[in-house]
Amino acid sequence: EVQLQASGGGLVQTGGSLRLSCAASGFTFGEYAIGWFRQAPGKDREGISCISNFDGTTYYVDSVKGRFTISSDKRDNMVYLQMNNLKPEDTAVYYCAAEYRLTFPRGSLVRPRDFNSWGQGTLVTVSS
């Protein structure tokens, strides 16, 4: 059974940093992609950053490029999202999700329906 546990959210001021963690278990980590999504109040869930442990490709939505960095630790089955220069518009519940052998060629668009396994969310609040 695929299990995902997101953690690391909190309250931070504008310009601050947080690192989110996604602990994965119950599946062959190296054959899955892990994605980070977020959902702000009243808005749709959006994919913000993903990494394919299958082929190493990554994805970032334009709004976080240059500020967020995704990384994967295959030894510990962890995926991290380092978030720097946070802005109030980054405030949301952040979720991690997993999908088998998903890759992210250049120009990919990531949607929540691309992923079938989800963890619970962790709240990130950026104060102005």
Please write the tens of the pLDDT for every residue from 82-92: 999 999 999 99
- Comparing C-alpha atoms, which of 47, 26, 22, 32 is closest to residue 119? 22
Please write the tens of the pLDDT for every residue from 55-83: 999 999 999 999 999 999 999 999 999 99
pLDDT for residue 20: 98
pLDDT for residue 55: 96
Query: From CA 103, how far away is CA 111, in angstroms rounded?
Result: 13
Please write the tens of the pLDDT for every residue from 13-58: 999 999 999 999 999 999 999 999 999 999 999 999 999 999 999 9
pLDDT for residue 51: 98
Six-digit token pair at 124? 């990130």
pLDDT for residue 44: 97
Please write the tens of the pLDDT for every residue from 94-128: 999 999 999 999 989 999 999 999 999 999 999 99
Cβ neighbours of 59 (radius 10 Å) = 23
pLDDT for residue 96: 98
pLDDT for residue 100: 97
Query: From CA 27, how far away is CA 61, in angstroms rounded?
Result: 26
- Comparing C-alpha atoms, which of 112, 108, 107, 58 is closest to residue 80? 58
